[in-house]
Each structure stands twice: as C-alpha cells, then as structure tokens.
Amino acid sequence: MKNTRFSLAAFALLGSAALQPAHAAPGVIDAPQVATCPAPVPEATRCYTGEDGAGAFYWIAIPRDWNRVLVMHAHGGPETGPPRPQRSEDDLKRWAITVKAGNAWAGSTYRRGGYGVTMAAEDTERLRQIFVRHFGQPRRTLLHGQSYGAGVAAKAAELYAPVHGAKSPYDGLLLTSGVLGGGNAAYDFRLDLRVVYQYACGNHPRPDEVQYPLWTGLPMDSTLTRADLAARVKDCTGVGTPVAQRTPEQIARLKTILSVVKIQERSLLGHLTWATWLFQDLVQKRLDGRNPFGNVGVVYQGSADDAALNAGVARYAADPQAKGALAVDSQPTGRTALPTLGLHAIDDPTAFVELESAYRSIRDAAGTGELLVQSFSSEREHSYLSDSEYPALFAALLDWIDKGEKPTPESLAQRCATLKARYDTDGKNGCHIQPGWQAPALDSRVPPRNP
C-alpha cells in the first residue's frame, strides 16, 4: 500500500470486492537471517529475523520437532511510533507457548506505526508468503490475532478468502482478547472518555492551552508527553497515589469518570493515552483531519448529576465519510469460511468483552455464525491469558479443521484441563474457561450512537 493515508475511493473499491486481496505483496528485499532465539522460546528452535521489503520487520521461530503447523501472529496495539524490530521479538517471547506446542510462529511489526487494519492484514499475508518461500508449505496455517490484531486477523481471513476455486492460504482463525467489530464500535467509548474526563477535570487541554476538538486527540505541534498526561490525571483524580491520600474532590471526579465510561481505575490512563495519541494518528494522519466519532444524542449515566453532565459535555457529530472510511478499513464483513475460535477474559480491562457480541452479530448476519465458537475465561487480564488455554485452542481448532469435530466451550475447558499438567509448569495459570457464560450486547457497556 504505497499511500498509507485512508483513501475513500480506494476503500469504496475494496468494499465492493471485500473477498479479494487488497494489493499484491511487494517483492522481498532479503532472505530471513538466522538469529538467536530469545528465552523462553524452547531450546533447539530455529529463529530468523528480517525485513519484508515494505518496511515491516519480523521474527520467525520453527521448533525442532515441528508439527508442520504455522501460526501467523497478528499483534495488538497498534503502536504509534515507527516499526521496531524489538516489537516482533517481544511478541515471540510472549507467545513462546505457541512454539512449545510444536507450531512454527511468525509475526510482523507491520510496515508503519499507527492505525491501519487492512494494511496490517496485508503485512501479515506478506510474511506468510516469505515463510512459504523459504521454509516450505505448512500442512496447516492458522491466523492468530491478539487484541487489535484480532481485528487484523479477521480482516485478513476475509481479504484472502478463496477466489475462483483457489484455496485460502489460511485454514483456521483464532481470536484472543479481540478488539472486534471495527474501529468505530471499538473506539466510540474513548471519545466518551475524552469528553467526560474533560467535563470532570478540565485539564486535557487546560484552559490556558490551545483548545481543540477532543476527537482530534492532540494538536500535531503539541509537546505534551505521556508523563505530562499521567501527571494531569494524577492531579485531577489521584490515580497514582494511595486512596487514603486522595482528596474528596479527586475521589468524586474519579468516580464520575469510571462510573459513566464503565472502565476500571487500572486502565484509565491507558485508555486516555490511546484516546490522545492514537486519535491524533488516526484522525490527522489517516483521515485528513475528519472526525469518525460522534456523541450527539448520547445519554451518559452514572454520575452524581447526570442532567448537568449531559448538558455540560462537549458534543461532536461524526463526519459520514470519515466514519465510512474507518469502517471499510477495519470492520469485518463476517464473510469467511474459516473455522473460528475466540477466547476473551470476562473482566478484560482493555478490550471490552462485549465486543465479542458485536462480532457475533456480524458473523450471524453474514451467515457464518455456525463457524464461530466463542469462549470466555474468568481472568482479569488482556495481553496474555493462561499458558494452558492457548494450546487447547490450537489443538481444538486443528481437530475442527482436520476431523470436522467442532468444539464447544465445554470441550475447550475439558481439553485445557487435560493439557494443564504439560503447560502449566509453575502452577500459576491453570484453566479458567467458563462454558456457560455469554457476552452481553455492546450497547449495555457503550451508550449507542444516533444512526
């Protein structure tokens, strides 16, 4: 993708041919280079690094007793800085369990920092082609998307679907802690956070600073740092100091923000950071300064005085073209023939578990709901769940592909229990899948927008 700015014309074309690859993969400028595998990747694993010819870096790991299954990993984020080789190495270390289970692993940094789901899907496919070119065709290839990467993997599953009788390069899809349903649905609440935070605190921006629409994230010439933002949050809400040291005013302001936006204290600063620098990248660099997020007509609830809150928060109308461009880039159509498994922590502090219901609705509307099995765990984490759960999901997905044995949340929990002794070596993880649990509707967590 030579032009990394969202193009409405290009997205309209992509939307009319959503099952076709968006672009041909550029040529590769060098072969994978042998590298020393980082711990905790198992010993005797072969590791390689390289650059994909389009600006993305990658790591590849192939275990000694490779089972001929390749797991293409789409990482979370996105990062707002330029691509870093260290990012892919860090992903490999975090997901070493994939290699311990006998699978090869490959992960791209994506070709540039910032938002771009379709771009990242293309980068993932380019890396898969590099792997096949240098290491041969795997028996099976699975797409594993984590967090933001789950949206990337869902998009890749649709972009590289079978065309004119050709087989898809992917055999199955695993989505964990997924930011699903498209960027519009996933990030609306961060506009809510910006306007509610500003109503309560009034320091982002401060009254003596340049005032700007909060959906722009931050002016491009701003010198605000992440440490500065943390200091402002601490000053307003007391976050970062012991509860006993917070003033009554700080406690009241924090309660308003958390209750109305329905987030946890531990994730407040993280969400506000994304709603600052990611919004800056998305809106000003990718959408030509147009606003994809709106809150006109949204009714906020949960404060001590909701009438005053709703009268006092800033209101913005979304630009239809910007909203459409973001949707075409990031929102899945649901049109995929790949067996799909999902795992999401019920108390995920970063990606609302209710996003799973949005993805379920998309798959059901597309007629592919029967190919989606979602599971939920009683964990309170986002970036990584139990060691035992991932091998169970990989194995269940392969049995579904190879044997036609569609898993259920109950069978996933049972399979995890059988693998616990092998993979839960430190006794700290275990299996936490809750078979009877279902995700509530996203509207129960994020107030609905006007049509």
Assess whether 281 and 377 both reside in one domain: no
pTM: 0.91
Residue after which a domain boundary falls, among 287, 306, 326:
326
Helical H runs in 241-303? 248-261, 265-273, 279
Give residue 241's pLDDT: 97
Asked if pLDDT for residue 113 goes beyond 90, the answer is: no
The reply to whether 96 and 211 lie within a common domain is no
Do the beta carbons of residue 340 and residue 372 sit within 8 Å? yes
pLDDT at residue 36 is higher than 60: yes
Same domain flag for 336 and 321: no
Model confidence at 163: pLDDT above 90:
no
pLDDT at 408 over 90: yes
Q: What strands, in cross-sheet order, belong to the sheet with 33-35? A: 33-35, 46-51, 57-62, 104-108, 69-74, 140-146, 172-176, 340-345, 372-377
Q: What's the CATH number where 86 sits?
A: 3.40.50.1820
Residues 304 and 163 in one domain: no
| pLDDT exceeds 50 at position 375 | yes
Q: What confidence category does residue 2 fall into, taking pLDDT thresholds of 50, 70 and 90?
A: very low
Q: What does the pLDDT average to over 396-422? A: 97
pLDDT tens-digit series, residues 236-270? 999 999 999 999 999 999 999 999 999 999 999 99
Question: pLDDT of 183-213, one tens digit each?
Answer: 999 999 999 999 999 999 999 999 999 999 9
Question: Are 161 and 324 spatial neighbours (Cβ–Cβ below 8 Å)?
Answer: no
Task: Give the residue from 326, 351, 379 where a domain finishes.
Answer: 326
- Whether residue 4 lies inside any domain: the answer is no
Predicted local distance difference test score (pLDDT) of residue 377: 97
133 is a domain residue: yes
Residue 16 has pLDDT above 70, yes or no: no
Confidence of residue 114 (pLDDT cuts 50, 70, 90): confident
Residue 45 structure tokens: 């694993």
- In 39-103, which ranges are E strands? 46-51, 57-62, 69-74
The pLDDT tens digits of the residues spanning 136-149 come to 999 999 999 999 99
Residue 395 domain-assigned? yes
Amino acid at 16: S
Q: With respect to residue 189, please indicate whether it lies within any of the assigned structural domains.
A: yes
- Residue in the structure block whose two tokens are 């990012």: 87
> Does the pLDDT value for residue 22 go beyond 60?
no
Residues 33 and 176 both lie in one domain: yes
* In the chain, % of residues over pLDDT 90: 86
**Is residue 5 in a domain?**
no
In a domain, 449, yes or no: no
Q: The tokens of 215 are what?
A: 């959906």
Report the sign of the C-alpha dihedral through residues 278, 21, 123, 143, in that order.
positive
Both 215 and 260 in a single domain? Answer: yes
338 with 407, same domain: the answer is: yes
Band of residue 425 on the pLDDT scale cut at 50, 70, 90:
confident
Residue 367 lies in domain: 10-182+332-444
Q: Residue 136 — left, alpha, or beta (φ > 0 → left; ψ -120 to 50 → alpha)?
A: left
pLDDT band at 373 (very low <50, low <70, confident <90, very high): very high
- What is the pLDDT confidence band of residue 11, given thresholds at 50, 70 and 90? very low
Averaged pLDDT of the chain:
92
Token output for 240? 């970062």
Q: Is the pLDDT of residue 178 over 90?
A: yes
| Whole-number pLDDT of residue 416 | 96
What's the pLDDT tens digit per position in 230-239? Answer: 999 999 999 9
For residue 139, what is the DSSP state? Answer: S
Q: Which of 34-38, 113-117, 271-275, 405-409 has the lowest mean pLDDT?
A: 113-117
Q: Are residues 225 and 279 in the same domain?
A: yes
Tokens of 134: 């240098």
The pLDDT of residue 274 is above 80: yes
What is the count of structural domains for the chain?
2
Domain membership of residue 109 (yes or no) is yes
pLDDT of residue 30: 65
Does residue 245 lie in a domain region? yes
| pLDDT tens, position by position, 86-98 | 999 999 999 999 9
Same domain, 275 and 350: no
Residue 291 confidence (pLDDT) above 70: yes
- The pLDDT-based confidence of 10 (bands split at 50, 70, 90) is very low
**Residue 245 sits in the same domain as residue 314:** yes
Out of 288, 308, 326, pick the residue that ends a domain: 326
Q: Do residues 123 and 111 touch, judged by C-beta distance below 8 A?
A: yes
Q: Are residues 157 and 30 in the same domain?
A: yes
39 and 59 fall within a common domain? yes
The pLDDT score that the predictor gives to residue 29 is 52
